[in-house]
Structure 1
Amino acid sequence: MVKQALQDLIITTQIKRLLNKIYGLGPADDSILKRAIEFYENQPARESRILALEEEISEQKLKLQAAVTSKVKMRQNALEHAQLQLEEFKQECDAERFDRHRHFLEIAREVISLTEGESFEETVRKSSLLLGTIQLLSPNEGSKIAEKNEKHKPLYKAVLSLRLLDELLAEEDLNDEFISRYLGDIPADRYHEFQSVNPEAYQYFCEQVKISVVTAAIVQDIGNFHPEARAILCGDSGKESPYRMLEIEQRKELLQVSFREMMKYVNEGLGTLNYIGNSKEDRDRFIKDEKAKQVFIKKLLKRAVNPQQSIGNLLKVPQIYASIVLSTKDNYNYKVLPKVFSVLNTNAERGACHQRVVDSFYKVVGMFPQGYGVTYIPKASDGNYMDSYEYAIVCSLYPNNPEEPICRPATRGLTFISHGQDTTIEKASNLHFTQTAKRLARVSKKRLLEILEVIASNYEERKELDVLPRCWYPNDYFSIKNHQKLWNRSVY
């Protein structure tokens, strides 16, 4: 493939910006993560200041009680001054928290806007686009895999959790009092029509339930950036790789610190919003909703630790999935990503998550991750399989058969193309499967090398690798603007 000038479609640029808004740490990034790190770094000074002022107030109260008549006024003034300082400092902290929460809420709403449409079909298309783009922007080779995947994972998990939420509600397989309160009288078999049936109620549902799910998914691992957690991750020298495999005791300590500080961030770093307006009725409802949302977010996070059959699976199942598809470990292997459900099923057997939820999730995402590079054997006009293969990219959720992904072909006749019709890659033609690959075993190595030379973008690097690729790496392909139109038509 001949490389062209690297440009992006508008939607690709939007997704890149959203990733930076969530976990970006660049000089120009005003991200959720940056604000969380700042909160953690300032936490000791903030708590120390409040403690000092409270001690000053206690001291002034004692002095006032012991003061002679001539010094009562002076002691009262000193006490009032200390109390005023404490109140002003708490108001300053509260204003910072309010701004932090507003910033987070704006980004959470953008996540929903970029992944949901006016119909179920459009929501599937937009979510497939975002998930696939994240995968295609994530490196599968080189030294930056872990760093990039860590940055991309929170948004990826959030979208997966939203789609899992939708599926469980459509299957009437999610019993939660908080969620039911905002569903109203929408039956499960009409859940996907919720937005068109009652737009106002659906918007309220999104603000209360879906914003909460996005929030929980994004903050789930944010405690890893507390200084105490970083000390564990980066070692005593501070120079060890935070992505290395930790000892069991280190891992336990990290999980405790991370969870504790994540919950502190939810409570103190974000908290609840303040009502702005003059209506007592609206204010009372707003305060009630905000408190209920925070309780729900904390319930999601707490139960995700050991979900069993609880609502914690809504976060836990996507968390396990994302930890493999966007792995931050040294053993990352792009080729085995379609085996992610073997891991999920094993976790379900061990009780780390619920099998029924895993099965529902499998229905949504299928065996092959969005954006994954599939190689397949095409059929000739007579219906027989050819002695060649082509490239395609997984481009839609909800395949009819989880083992047969909906893809957009990237090559035709061993030539890269920019446009094409979505197609289902049958198991019998997908080279990921051993039985399919055996069909090309009779083709000579010379012929396979000839195909590889034509189709591979970096043939010189790859000619010593598999001459019969079980998958391919579409990142270079996707970096070209005209090749980013994988979702320009609905698959329905």
Structure 2
Amino acid sequence: MVKASVHKTHYTGQAQVLLAKIYGRSILNDSVLERAIDYFNNHEFVASDEKISSENQELNRLQQIDRHNHLLSICREIMSLVEGDSFDESNRKSAQLLGTIQLITPTEGNKIAESNDHCKSLYKAILSLRLLERLLLDNSVNDPYIAKVLAEFDGKPYSELDQTERLRFTDMVKMPVLMASLLQDIGHYHSKAQLILRGEEGTDDPYRTLEVEDRKTLLKINQKQTISYITHGLGLPKFIGNSRAERDQFFEDEQLKQQFVKKLIQTSPKAKQGVGNLLKVPQIYVSIILSTKANYNYKVLPKVYQVLDRHAELGACSQKAVDALYQITGMFPQGYGVIYMPVDEMGKHGDCYEYAIVNRLYPQDPKQPLCRVATRGLTFICYGHNIEVLKKNNLYFPEMAEKVAKLSKERLNEILQLLASNYKDRQQLDLLPRCWHPKEYFSVKKHQKLWNKVDEDG
């Protein structure tokens, strides 16, 4: 299990431990992933007519309850990290966890695919929650199960629920969304799926681009085995109490939640306009932001919505859901390294650029990210202020890049030498950078407080 170190804030360490609890690998075999692999390897191949002793039945039930309780505890921990007492606080906390995940994963080198794969399910789960909330606030969720849960509250819209009602809604809707998001691809770890991904010798690159037929087969295996794991590997939790009425209500609720989890997973491949978009749209987003493909390119991450819009055009997902996620995240993902050209009191650009890191959701203009300043006067700082990086000042956009290109080569070299730790390596690559890689900056403990409250400076 990952432990916090002197080089991390408590929060950064907490995020890494959470990631390990979900898709980690260790000698303890106690992550969500490892528990599923253990089930696939040891519990699935029991013939339906095979007699099982009462002792084994009891053991299997205890293991089922343990897996379910473990997953539930993970979901509760995620909730505590991303849900606040207000809409703004929930978004601040979500931005912090999304940004931390991005900033602790490599964006250069040969370990990108493995690291991104490790982080994708948690990142996607956070986005699914925020997308659900946005669509609820816009009255854009058309699902019988969610409507049934809301009907318990005398027809109140989601925005008007009191604290008790929100707890009920969280238990009945948000927790299943989290579970479905975390488990969506767990079937990839079934032996049949692993045979496709890794080959008979187990030496094939699991992140390679598959042939069309292999991909179709993998999708079918994944969905079948994921649903099987939810049904038989997790089952329903154990009721604790003495009231028969409470027990009956408990199992009715749990059966409905399990059905909803399955529906989310089963409908996400062909989400179209349905509730499966809660998984599908974040899944496409994460497949770009935390890509496991060999052509991963950090510079082009802000083009993620070009991919999402294309999927919507083809009918693979809802344009309304894509637009809602765009409103939440904006064009630039959390933790992304933005380079901008500051202006003086007269509104004129100087002769240097500065670094900033995207650290908040819901930008007023999706193309103008909300950031924390990381450098001032070409010097890295620990306690920068928050800014909105205007499009006209952002080097990501060609218009600004062209202006900076007018600076002399000597001046550009001077700036790069001050800001890039591997200056000599980068000298031939990006004398005129469009973005920067903040991972090394964030590895310093005092630079990990990008979300503490500061005076706004727009």
TM-score range, shorter chain: over 0.9
Specify the alignment match of 2:388 in structure 1.
424
Alignment check: 8 A CA contact 1:449 1:467 kept: yes
Q: Report deviation, 1:201.
A: 1.4
Q: Distance in 2 between matches of 1:398 and 1:229?
A: 38
Alignment check: 8 A CA contact 1:379 1:386 kept: yes
Q: Distance in 1 between matches of 2:374 and 2:273?
A: 41
Q: Distance in 2 between matches of 1:124 and 1:256?
A: 35
- What aligned pairs does 1:67-86 form with structure 2 within 5 A after superposition? 86=53
Percent of aligned pairs with the same residue?
A: 49
Structure 1 unaligned regions, length at least 5:
54-84
* 1:300 pairs with 2:298: no
Specify the alignment match of 1:147 in structure 2.
114
Q: Distance in 2 between matches of 1:397 and 1:244?
A: 32
TM-score w.r.t. structure 1 length? 0.89
SS at match of 2:302: helix
Q: Report deviation, 1:44.
A: 4.6
Alignment check: 8 A CA contact 1:368 1:403 kept: yes
Q: Distance in 2 between matches of 1:39 and 1:168?
A: 35
Q: Distance in 1 between matches of 2:7 and 2:148?
A: 46
Q: Distance in 2 between matches of 1:141 and 1:179?
A: 42
Q: Report deviation, 1:326.
A: 0.2
Alignment check: 8 A CA contact 1:108 1:211 kept: yes
Q: Report deviation, 1:30.
A: 1.8
Specify the alignment match of 1:439 in structure 2.
403
4+ runs deviating over 4 angstroms: 185-188
Specify the alignment match of 2:345 in structure 1.
381
Specify the alignment match of 2:33 in structure 1.
33
Q: Deviations over 1:307-342 (max 9, x none)?
A: 111011110000000000000100100000000000
Q: Deviations over 1:173-227 (max 9, x none)?
A: 0022222233324744x61x64xxx211111111111110000000001111111
Indicate the structure (1 or 2) with the bigger Cα radius of gyration: 1
Q: Deviations over 1:64-88 (max 9, x none)?
A: xxxxxxxxxxxxxxxxxxxxx5333
Specify the alignment match of 2:128 in structure 1.
161
Specify the alignment match of 1:175 in structure 2.
142
Specify the alignment match of 2:417 in structure 1.
453
Q: Report deviation, 1:424.
A: 0.3
SS at match of 1:52: coil
Q: Deviations over 1:387-423 (max 9, x none)?
A: 2100000000100000000000100000000112211
* 1:283 pairs with 2:236: no
Q: Which of these residues, 93, 96, 114, is aligned with residue 129 of structure 1? A: 96
Alignment check: 8 A CA contact 1:20 1:29 kept: no
Q: Distance in 2 between matches of 1:239 and 1:352?
A: 33
Specify the alignment match of 2:9 in structure 1.
9
Specify the alignment match of 2:60 in structure 1.
93
Of the structure 1 ranges 176-185 and 89-98, higher mean CA displacement relative to structure 2 is found in 176-185
Q: Distance in 1 between matches of 2:419 and 2:55?
A: 66
TM-score w.r.t. structure 2 length? 0.95
SS at match of 1:305: coil
Q: Distance in 2 between matches of 1:318 and 1:217?
A: 9
Specify the alignment match of 1:252 in structure 2.
216
Q: Report deviation, 1:355.
A: 0.6
Specify the alignment match of 1:241 in structure 2.
205
Q: Distance in 2 between matches of 1:454 and 1:274?
A: 60
Greater helix content: 1
Alignment check: 8 A CA contact 2:98 2:123 kept: yes
- What aligned pairs does 1:319-334 form with structure 2 within 5 A after superposition? 319-334=283-298
Q: Distance in 1 between matches of 2:369 and 2:455?
A: 12
Q: Which of these residues, 55, 60, 74, is aligned with residue 107 of structure 1? A: 74
Q: Report deviation, 1:26.
A: 2.3
Specify the alignment match of 1:204 in structure 2.
168
Specify the alignment match of 1:119 in structure 2.
86
Q: Report deviation, 1:459.
A: 1.0
Alignment check: 8 A CA contact 1:125 1:490 kept: no
| Matched AA of 2:293 | K
| Matched AA of 2:21 | K
SS at match of 1:287: helix
Q: CA distance change for structure 1 residues 44 and 247 in 2, over 3 Å: closer, same or farther?
A: same
Q: Distance in 2 between matches of 1:491 and 1:351?
A: 43
Specify the alignment match of 1:338 in structure 2.
302
| Matched AA of 1:36 | A
Give the total of aligned pairs.
Answer: 450
* 1:402 pairs with 2:366: yes
Q: Report deviation, 1:280.
A: 1.1
| Matched AA of 1:395 | N
Q: Deviations over 1:16-62 (max 9, x none)?
A: 010000000122462100100000010355x14x6432xxxxxxxxx
* 1:262 pairs with 2:226: yes
| Matched AA of 1:102 | N
Q: Report deviation, 1:445.
A: 1.2
Alignment check: 8 A CA contact 1:140 1:334 kept: yes
Q: CA distance change for structure 1 residues 211 and 439 in 2, over 3 Å: closer, same or farther?
A: same
Q: CA distance change for structure 1 residues 291 and 490 in 2, over 3 Å: closer, same or farther?
A: farther
SS at match of 1:241: coil
Q: CA distance change for structure 1 residues 171 and 490 in 2, over 3 Å: closer, same or farther?
A: farther
Alignment check: 8 A CA contact 2:128 2:178 kept: yes
Specify the alignment match of 1:488 in structure 2.
452
Q: CA distance change for structure 1 residues 491 and 359 in 2, over 3 Å: closer, same or farther?
A: farther
Specify the alignment match of 1:213 in structure 2.
177
Q: Which of these residues, 331, 334, 341, is aligned with residue 367 of structure 1? A: 331
Q: Distance in 2 between matches of 1:474 and 1:28?
A: 32
Q: Distance in 2 between matches of 1:490 and 1:147?
A: 35
Structure 2 unaligned regions, length at least 5:
none
Alignment check: 8 A CA contact 2:385 2:454 kept: no
| Matched AA of 1:357 | A
Q: Report deviation, 1:383.
A: 1.7
Q: Distance in 2 between matches of 1:311 and 1:93?
A: 33
Q: Report deviation, 1:380.
A: 1.7
Q: Distance in 2 between matches of 1:285 and 1:152?
A: 36
